[in-house]
Amino acid sequence: MNKRNLSTAWIGLGSNLGDSLHILHQAWRKLGRDPAVRLQRLSTCYRSRPVDMESEHWFINGVGELQTSLSPMELLTLLLRIEKEFGRRRDPDSTGHQDRTLDLDLLLYDDLIIDEPFLQIPHPRMHNRMFVLAPLAGLAPKLKHPTLHLTMTALKNNLLNDPAAAVIHQVFPVAGSRI
């Protein structure tokens, strides 16, 4: 892999079925086995109540930084393949979110802005999700959102200061969970 041709991508990792913390560890390692990917850093993981879905299973979420020579679409394809290998099932007839063994989201890719039917960068809901902002601000507090032009810390603080979102967006660090 040629260093000059590497892009930086930020990946959201989540699971609410099975041994979620172990699944996230294994998925991150599997992602790093691809010759076009160099794993950089991982966040602390957080436990959070499901958002936009009804489930008794809480999520474990984290964020990772990697460098890659893959295009954004190639990286998304790799993420979807790894999800499937970990038992992720996507029901095209189902509406809304479902419980899942693994969820890998492409959050950011350099400072690109892409709005295509199957690929949106930055992730369109990341700025409204504490389970993304808390770990991402922990890793890269000064990283700026490419369309909102605010740092991850500012976005996290905006969400924390929103009384209507406070209960929904509570996240709890998982002790010893650096993946």
179 inside domain: no
Report the predicted TM-score, pTM, of the whole model to 2 decimal places. 0.88
If you compute the radius of gyration of the chain from its CA atoms, what whole number of angstroms results? 15
Q: What share of the chain in percent tops pLDDT 90?
A: 64
Dist CA 143 CA 134 (whole Å): 13
For residue 118, the domain's CATH number is 3.30.70.560
The tokens describing 32, both together, are 């790093």
Residue with tokens 């560890």: 25
178 inside domain: no
80 inside domain: yes
Range(s) of the domain holding residue 89: 3-173
113 inside domain: yes
Determine the Cα angle at 40 with ends 175 and 105, to 5°. 75
In this prediction, residue 92 carries a pLDDT of 63
In this prediction, residue 178 carries a pLDDT of 55
The tokens describing 156, both together, are 């996290």
Question: Residue 126: pLDDT above 80?
Answer: yes
Confidence band (pLDDT; 50, 70, 90) for 57? confident
14 inside domain: yes
What total of structural domains would you count in the chain? 1
Catalytic site residues?
88, 100, 103, 105
Detail the DSSP E strand segments found in the chain: 7-15, 37-42, 46-48, 59-68, 103-109, 114-116, 119-121, 171-173
- Please count the other Cβ atoms lying within 10 Å of the Cβ belonging to residue 46: 23
107 inside domain: yes
Dist CA 179 CA 161 (whole Å): 28
C-alpha separations of 18 from 4, 86, 101 in Å? 39, 10, 6
Q: Are 104 and 82 in contact (CB under 8 A)?
A: yes
Is residue 28 within a helix (H) or strand (E), and if so which, with residue range? helix 20-32
Dist CA 81 CA 120 (whole Å): 18
Residue with the bigger pLDDT between 119 and 161: it is 119
Confidence band (pLDDT; 50, 70, 90) for 123? very high
